[in-house]
Amino acid sequence: MVDYWPFIVILVAGWLATDLWRWLGVVAGNRLQEGSEALHWVRAVATALVMAVTAKLVVFPTGVLEASPLWLRLAAASLGFAAFLVAGQRVLVGVVVPLAILGAGLLWL
pLDDT digits (tens, 9 = 90+) for 21-40: 788 888 877 887 888 888 88
Residues whose CB falls within 8 Å of the CB of residue 69, separated by 6 or more in sequence, listed in order: 109
pLDDT of residue 94: 95
pLDDT digits (tens, 9 = 90+) for 28-86: 778 878 888 888 888 899 999 999 999 999 999 998 889 899 999 999 999 999 999 99
pTM score? 0.66
Every domain of the chain and the residues it spans: 62-109
pLDDT of residue 6: 87
- Residue 80: closest CA among 64, 48, 58, 60: 58
pLDDT digits (tens, 9 = 90+) for 6-20: 888 888 888 878 888
pLDDT of residue 42: 83
**Cα 27 off chain centre by:** 23
